[in-house]
Structure 1
Amino acid sequence: MQYVAVDPEVPAEIAELFRRNASLLSRIRAGWAPEPEAAPSRLPVRALQVVGAVTALLLVGVGVTADGGGHTGVFVAALLVFVVFIGHLTAQEPLDAGDPEQDLYRNARWYADRYLLPEDFDAPAEELRERTRRAVEYVLRSQVNAAGMLDDARNSVMLPAQEWEIARLLAKLSALRREHHDLAVDGDSPEVAAALEPLERALAASEAAVVARVEALERYAAHVAEAERAFLAHQRIELLRSRLPKYEELLAETGADALAVPEIDHLARDAGQLEQALRASIRSAHEAFRYLDGPPTEGDK
């Protein structure tokens, strides 16, 4: 499935709609528009049916009134038939849901500058965007993040914002690179070539700055991966340690408690060492996370 980068400020249900419809979004951007919505053809029929039922009910009511109330039972029966009839019409002809293409078109126009499509990225930019997506996705889906061992609240806000900002910069960089390439094709004179050189340096410096941001995210994801491995190993060791009494009981019952193998005793020590390793890896992840915020300000020192 083609990937659509969406500003995290866009409502979640609309962002998901965009991600599911990359091809149609490309067509909308190119000028395509869905056919105007037609008025439901069954509405007049339903209106006539309701009017007819109301008219019949009124006629029955008038007849009852003229008879001095002698046929109240008939009126009540007619009223019940009317209610059942209207309910039947409602069940048979529910209100039509909105046209999905119209819904996508309206939101695509409203949030025109809040999403980016695959064609917005050239090949180098797409590679960096994909690296960013993988790093952010790994952190947000990690068990240590779900367990609250990282700054999960800040992760859920800052990492999608970082991903969007990197995607936005990469799209802008891709567009400028395309323009630069078109200018360079016609720039075979020494004067034009000399004028293009500072622009090329600006593009290279901008790309290097974006690459540094991507690498910072990847370092953070790598620290989280270390914490994840330590966390999973710690969970397993704790599970084994919780079962130690059963083994000790068995050894005592069989008279082999004096011959207990050292590996069983090592479980407790291994659990403690893994817990220390886990805490160290979490601290490293926090340090890498703070690096994403940029250099400390004077107030932070």
Structure 2
Amino acid sequence: MAKGCLYALLSVASAAAVLVGCLAMYVIAGPVGAVFTVLVGLVGLCAFIVAHDTMRRRSLTAEEARRLAQERDHVRRTVDFVADPALTEEQRLTIIDSFVPRLRVSRAPFRDRLVLVPELSPSARALLERARRAVMSVYTSQVMRRRLLDGLANEVLLPRQIWEIAMLLRVQTHLHQEQERAMRGLVTPELRAVLEPQQEALRRSVASVTARVERLERYARRVQEADAALRAREALDNNDKYRALLAHTDDDEGMRDLETHGAALEETLARSVSVAIEAGQTLSLDRQA
């Protein structure tokens, strides 16, 4: 508002300056000078208007970008969903924008590539949360940060695992709801004969997804064990201080024990990382199967 008033005042002042200059040139140089002054003034005024419009458009664009960034950040913090990891960044932003009412972006094209967590049943949400916690513990582990694990494989495999689990849980939720609707009212032997095989198939599917989540948790456990071995390895680096202490106390047996334990810990670290990598490979084989 203040900027608009300022620009209006400047426009009026510029027009007044042109008129005054025109009168002055008319008195000094006659009609030709007055016409020249008017032309120069008009060119200057047009340049000012164009510059003002350009600055205003840039300001509006920057303001819109800031507003959109804030709205997208709000969606990321408040809307719980799982998206297909194969989506491009542009497609992900389109999905996020679909949760901003003023943008009126449709989610319909991504209906099959998006799972809204609140729409899952409570038991399905609990399973998904377990899988997410397991994956997060892998991502935040020291062995992952230090690239002792296959980082590239984890960055591709683990999001895919979460996505596939979320999709299966969504289907199971819908089928559970379908079963509940079918069981309302009188249940005849014929209806039960139809529903029981379906319910058994659904139970087997739930058991399979639960086992898949448990495999993720076992993998996360292996990674945590590798982390613990890594911390032990870091503590092992302090053995020199304790050797020096034992040397001062002439404790040869204690020094030998430190060296023996140190060698064992080196092997434990290597074995723990190897087990974690093998567990990750098992996840990959399970998905392919």
TM-score interval for Structure 1 and Structure 2 normalised by the shorter chain:
0.5 to 0.7
TM-aligned CA deviation for residue 56 of structure 1: 5.3
Tell whether 2:271 aligns with 1:292.
no
Contact preservation (8 Å) 1:187, 1:193: no
Return the structure number with greater relative CO, CA threshold 8 A, min gap 6: 1
Amino acid at match of 1:260: D
Match runs of 1:149-188 below 5 Å:
149-188=148-187
Contact 1:122 1:174 (8 Å CA) reproduced? yes
Aligned residues: 241
Match of 1:191 in 2: 190
Letter in 2 for 1:172: V
Equivalent AA in structure 1 for residue 281 of structure 2? R
Contact 2:157–2:284 (Cα < 8 Å) also in 1: no
Match of 1:241 among 239, 242, 257: 239
Q: Is the contact made by 2:223 and 2:273 (CA closer than 8 Å) also made in structure 1?
A: yes
Q: Hey, what's the Cα distance between the residues in 2 that align with 1:267 and 1:107?
A: 65
Question: What secondary structure sits across from 1:186 in the alignment?
Answer: coil
Residues 61 and 147 of structure 1: CA distance in aligned 2, closer, same or farther (over 3 Å):
farther
Q: Which amino acid aligns with 1:241?
A: N
Pairwise CA RMSD: 4.3
- Corresponding residue for residue 258 of structure 2: 267
Q: The residue matched to 2:202 in structure 1 has which SS?
A: helix
Amino acid in structure 2 at the alignment position of 1:291: T
Q: Does 1:225 align with 2:238?
A: no
Helix, strand or coil at the partner of 2:197: helix
Residue 282 of structure 1, CA deviation: 1.2
Note if 1:281 corresponds to 2:286: no
Deviation of 1:94 after TM superposition, in Å, equals 5.8
Q: Residue 210 of structure 1 corresponds to which residue in structure 2?
A: 209
Deviation at 1:193, TM superposition (A): 0.7
Q: Distance in 1 between matches of 2:225 and 2:253?
A: 28
Q: TM-score, normalised by structure 2?
A: 0.67
Query: In the alignment, is the contact (CA less than 8 A) between 2:243 and 2:255 conserved in 1?
Result: no
Distance (Å, rounded) in 2 between the aligned partners of 1:293 and 1:230: 24
List runs of 5+ in structure 2 lacking aligned partners.
72-99
Change (3 A) 1:296 1:122: closer
Task: Give the match for residue 115 of structure 1.
Answer: 114
**Cα separation, 2, equivalents of 1:229 and 1:271:** 15
Q: Counterparts of 1:270 and 1:53 in 2: how far apart (Å)?
A: 87
- Pair 1:144 & 2:122 matched: no
Whole-Å Cα distance in 1 between the matches of residues 218 and 101 of structure 2? 42
Percent of paired sites with the same residue: 31
Q: Higher helix proportion, which one? A: 2
Question: Structure 1-normalised TM-score?
Answer: 0.64
The Cα of 1:174 is off from its aligned counterpart by: 0.9
* Distance in 2, Cα, partners of 1:235 & 1:105: 54
State the 1:225 CA deviation: 1.2
Aligned-partner Cα distance in 2 for 1:218–1:278: 20
Conserved 8 A contact 1:136-1:221: yes
Describe the shift of the 1:260–1:203 C-alpha distance in structure 2 as closer, same or farther (beyond 3 A). Answer: same
- Aligned-partner Cα distance in 1 for 2:155–2:148: 13
C-alpha displacement of 1:116: 2.8
Pair 1:272–1:43, CA change in 2 (3 A): same
Deviates more, 1:227-236 or 1:262-271: 262-271
Q: State the SS of the aligned residue for 2:217.
A: helix
Report deviation, 1:115: 3.4
Matches within 5 A, 1:86-125: 96-97=63-64, 98=67, 100=71, 101-102=100-101, 106=105, 111-125=110-124
Q: Counterparts of 2:102 and 2:245 in 1: how far apart (Å)?
A: 63
Shift of 1:188: 1.2
